[in-house]
Structure 1
């Protein structure tokens, strides 16, 4: 399965008003689509490596995973079956259908149930992509792919701020800092999902990341009692408009509630709005 997409190409680091931004949202290889980011890079690798006859996946009806997996399936000419709960239509569902995905409604719509149903309809030759585009059988490869993006971080960076959902991006950052000898001392994980710190620590040991590991600071928006995934927030710095369900919430919280040093802090943009 061939593709002219270079998933190892480094996305730029930009500096705005003394703050650094890793622009992984500028990984946007599909002409005419806004689908972008580190999760897209991961999905392309998983599909290319697996060479499936079809893709089966599932998520919330408001997840950008809808657009990402559907666009990758269309690019490689692979049918996509997408399980979601509920009965409403959303912009993400319309995007997925526009890329040729078959939408399969389920009740109830809890993640564990969607996963069990996705396994039931997966056939020999199917690729089942889990929610969050984290593939246990390829986890080491996924971590390595993200770790490469650390290479062009300026040496003065000592703090990285990142939205934490599945924990996969965080693991890539930790491995990249260790692998390329970067001087980052601290990573702030701002969580928009259940706490993944135990998973992250387990994988640090499993992946044998033994040196130059930064301190992990953690704050959970998910557990603060007021978090609503579906509620959009508008937040921008310079000409960067952050994803309304992820970075807009995490970065605005961090800037409003923490002291940090300009010229030494980098905000890692996993992806921007795909609509």
Structure 2
């Protein structure tokens, strides 16, 4: 299932940009899309190599990571279980998880904070259980995300990516360093006080002057939005035909356009945006469109 994959790079015609491109990782798979596929690639390979047959992971009720893990586990013949943060609910995302055979354990927010304890309390007796952190954060995930840069045929002045945990960002920076590129990497944290992402990146890669974090595009915090952001999504998608999700990619593209207006990014520079997928997250906010 995890063969090498090369997603297309598409040019976007948006005034005033002359060289704005997007790497369409959202096209990898309808359920294991974008950076979820990249992260899980080596995580699940490692699990199988250690003869682990039961994947245990974590996420919220609208987590794309849960769907991706459930789908990938099913295709590899692995059992999967997820600790779901919050009260028991039913929605489209969790329905997909169940259809892919995932067992859901709803967990109060206080208990959810200690994921290692949850894992040990429930699965200490099970030798085949394998811990996968929320969002897939791990060294294996960083290696998978670094391959995004390996796939690029052309060089770019700037690469943009949204970030929640910093794992994808770390992979991109590792790929830039590995390939000896001078590309500036712009990271858009999607939650308040996102400066910690710099520290997360440095767990996996050396410091680089080419790394820039833009901290003012969180729109209130993780999975938080504003009417301005929803209007942007509707306008952007109608103009380009490219779907965005409200949690990650919409904030990234809003930032790219706003940074150009501030002359921080030149409209003539060659810019690549990484579309990290996650489009199922739209269902969590369908009443706002």
Shift of 1:112: 1.3
CA RMSD of aligned residues (A): 2.5
Q: 1:257 offset after TM fit, Å?
A: 4.4
1:24-63 to structure 2, matched below 5 A, reads 24-28=25-29, 33-51=30-48, 52-63=52-63
Seen in structure 2, the aligned counterparts of structure 1 residues 130 and 60 have a Cα distance that, compared at 3 Å, is same
Deviation at residue 218 of structure 1 after TM alignment:
2.6
Indicate the SS of the match to 1:204. coil
Alpha-carbon offset, residue 159 of structure 1: 0.9
Query: Which residue does 2:242 correspond to in 1?
Result: 240
Please report the TM-score for the alignment, with normalisation by the length of structure 1: 0.82
CA distance in 2: counterparts of 1:239 and 1:40, whole angstroms: 23
Distance 1:156-1:69 versus aligned 2 partners, 3 A rule: closer
* Unaligned runs of at least 5 residues, structure 2: 14-18, 284-289
Structure with the higher fraction of residues in helix conformation: 2
Q: CA deviation at 1:247?
A: 0.6
* 1:62 match: secondary structure: coil
Deviates more, 1:151-160 or 1:169-178: 151-160
2:57–2:81 CA contact under 8 A, matched in 1: yes
1:181 Cα offset (Å): 2.5
How many angstroms does 1:74 deviate by?
A: 0.8
Partner deviation per Cα, 1:94-119 (whole Å, 9 max, x = no partner): 11011111111112366414553133
Query: Residues 167 and 196 of structure 1 are in contact (CA less than 8 Å); yes or no, is this contact kept in structure 2?
Result: yes
Q: Does structure 2 retain, via aligned residues, the 8 Å contact 1:58–1:118?
A: no
* Pair 1:87-2:88 in alignment: yes
Deviation of 1:55 (Å):
1.0
Question: Which of residues 103, 126, 129 is equivalent to 2:129?
Answer: 126
Give the drift of 1:200: 1.4
Taking a change above 3 Å as real, the CA distance of residues 54 and 156 of structure 1, as seen in their structure-2 partners, is closer
C-alpha contact (below 8 Å) 2:31/2:71 kept by paired residues: no
Q: Which residue of 2 aligns with 1:168?
A: 167
Asked if the contact 2:62/2:93 (under 8 Å) is kept, the reply is yes
Contact 1:155/1:182 (CA < 8 Å) preserved in 2? Answer: no
Q: Is the 8 A contact 1:62 1:230 kept in 2?
A: no
Quote the Cα distance in structure 2 between the aligned partners of 1:61 and 1:109. 16
Q: Go from structure 1 to structure 2 and tell me whether the alpha carbon gap of 1:167 and 1:221 turns closer, same or farther (over 3 Å shift).
A: same
Separation in structure 2 between the aligned mates of residue 46 and residue 250 of structure 1, nearest angstrom: 26
d(CA) in 2 for partners of 1:159, 1:14: 15
Pair 108,34 (structure 1): closer, same or farther in 2 beyond 3 Å = closer
In 2, Cα distance between equivalents of 1:80 and 1:217: 35
Distance in 1 (alpha carbons) for counterparts of 2:167 and 2:26: 16
